[in-house]
Amino acid sequence: FMQKLMKEKKLELAKKPCHTCRFLDDIFVIKLFFECMCFQNESLRQDILDYQRQMDSHHERQKWHHNDDSMYKSQVSRLNRDVMQYLDEMQVLTETNERLEKQGTELQQKLEQASHEMERASDEYAKMKAVVVQSDLLADELRKDKEELQLQVPSLVLINLALQERDHQVEVLTDQVVQGTQELNQNSVLIKELHSQLEQNFGRNGGKFLWIKLQVSLSHLNERAVVAEKETRRVECDAQAKDETINNLLTCLRNYEAGHYGLPEALRELQDCRNQLERRERDMAKLTQNVNEMHLQLADFMEENEGLRQRLGLEPKEMMDLTEFRRTKFLNRQRYLAENQALHKQVTWSVFQLTIWSFTGELYNHQPLCIVPHPFKDDLFMFVLVCFHVVKNLQQENRQLEVAMQDILQAIRDTHTSAETTEIVLKIPSLEQLVTAMELTSTQGPYDVALHMKIQVAEMSGRNEELRRELDTSRGEAKQVREQLNSALEKVWLHNNTSLIVTSLSLPQDLSPSSTDTIGALNMYLIQLLQVV
């Protein structure tokens, strides 16, 4: 399997130099063509210099020969035409040279990209080769380890025995350490007792020598205890390490016997590398396709641009001034926005007016309302009239604001269309009226136009928001009142159409009417009336 992968990678690497050779051949041909063009340019320049020298010589001859003016003029005109033709040819050749230089740079970039791709492919091939070598080395090492472990299988019993002996030694040492600690505790207790006895019997100066001896013996005992603890720790660490090595060896032996140790990981890495290579190749193909498409689109755009420049009468390297176009576009956009806002306001007001007029028409033209007396008729009519009056006032205010905004837009357009000046002065009559009104109202401190304008704009925006809220609330209330009025009209219409005869309850003729009988009859009569209503 690894050999197949190696062969496939070698074939892929053998295909890629063909592309590089083809790019190199194209570059070589372009370089030769470029050198030929340069040689032709040099020859044409030499011809032009020769023609100029001839023209100079002709001019000098004209000074000496006045009779042959017509012939010299014809020759000079012919030479001038030739010079113009040669200049045109030189311009064409320079353009072709520039285009060829661009193509050469593009081909060099493509060659560099191809070389980078070749380097990447070679690096990936080297990585794959290194991975294969590492996998082979791992397989060899695993085989050797398997053989060594198979040889070491008989010695596992001996290792277990040695571990048991070591455990026994560790237990003995732990017992010794415990005994040593007990002895140390006993010695420390004895030393304290002796120290107290010495202090009592001989005093501090008399028992100094004995105290030093006891301290020396105590230090020796402490050192021995520390050494014993270190040995026990070392023995425990060695035993744990041996246990871990034995467990690892057993797991390795089981994996080797099953044949699953290291090989699946290596195969998985190889498969991942192969998938990455295929993915990168697909990405490279997509990128090359996209680059080619972008080159074609760029060429189409360049051709369209050249055609548009020729139509406009511009030179190839002349820049266009787009400030006027952008300014007109911005002004048109602002104008369209203002017109849309004005139309939206007009539509909303027209819809609201239609609803109000339809509602008032229903109030005036509904027949049962005129016939049947209703207790809320006058209140509803007055409420509708008040709403209509408020709407008219709001319409007038909005018209004034629209006029002011139109004046502002017109002033801005006039300043843009007028000649360019260092300072722009806006003359807006509606705003001037507002400013004069504010000047009259403001009596404290110096007058600031910008500040007062900001305040006025804030007040106007707040007033507009308040009016919108009032309109929303009035619309909601009008809808509710309209629904109530419709329901009341329906009830009245039903009451007029249905002729109900309310019969009074007759009392019995034989009996004389008492208070209880009359009260009961009246109650029943009231219940019937309520049910009818």
CB of 368 within 8 A of CB of 493? Answer: yes
30 band by pLDDT with thresholds 50, 70 and 90? low
pLDDT in tens, 460-483: 666 667 767 776 776 777 677 677
pLDDT of residue 337: 78
192 or 452: which leads in pLDDT = 192
Q: How far is CA 298 from the centre of its chain?
A: 28
pLDDT of residue 531: 62
pLDDT in tens, 352-388: 666 666 655 555 454 443 333 444 445 555 555 666 6
pLDDT of residue 133: 77
CA atoms within 13 A on the CB side of 328: 4
How confident is the model over 499-527, as a mean pLDDT? 55
Percent of the chain with pLDDT over 90: 0
Q: How many CB atoms lie within 10 A of CB 9?
A: 19
pLDDT in tens, 169-212: 777 777 777 777 777 777 777 777 766 766 666 555 545 666 67
Please enumerate in sequence order all residues whose Cβ is within 8 A of that of 532, keeping only pairs 6 or more positions apart, or say none: 500, 502
Secondary-structure percent of the chain, ordered helix, strand, coil, rounded to 5? 90, 0, 10
Task: Name the burial class of residue 485, with classes exposed (0-12), middle (13-18) and buried (19+) by CB atoms within 10 angstroms of its CB.
Answer: buried
Classified as helix, coil or strand, 428 is coil
Tell me which fold the domain 2-152 belongs to: Helix Hairpins (1.10.287)
76 or 332: which leads in pLDDT = 332
Strands (E), 299-375: none
Lowest-confidence pick of 43-52, 405-414, 426-435? 426-435
Angle CA(155)–CA(159)–CA(162) in degrees, nearest 5? 140
Whether the pLDDT of residue 33 is over 60: the answer is yes
How confident is the model over 263-281, as a mean pLDDT? 76
pLDDT of residue 502: 44
Amino acid at 498: T
Whether the pLDDT of residue 433 is over 70: the answer is no
Percent of the chain with pLDDT over 70: 44
Whether the pLDDT of residue 259 is over 70: the answer is no
Rg (CA), the chain: 56
pLDDT in tens, 142-168: 777 777 766 766 666 676 677 777 777
Predicted TM-score (pTM) of this structure: 0.21
Q: How far is CA 77 from the centre of its chain?
A: 68
d(CA 103, CA 26): 10
503 band by pLDDT with thresholds 50, 70 and 90? very low
pLDDT of residue 110: 77
pLDDT of residue 387: 63
CB of 40 within 8 A of CB of 163? Answer: no
Please enumerate in sequence order all residues whose Cβ is within 8 A of that of 72, keeping only pairs 6 or more positions apart, or say none: 58, 61, 62, 65
Encoded tokens for 54: 């001839």
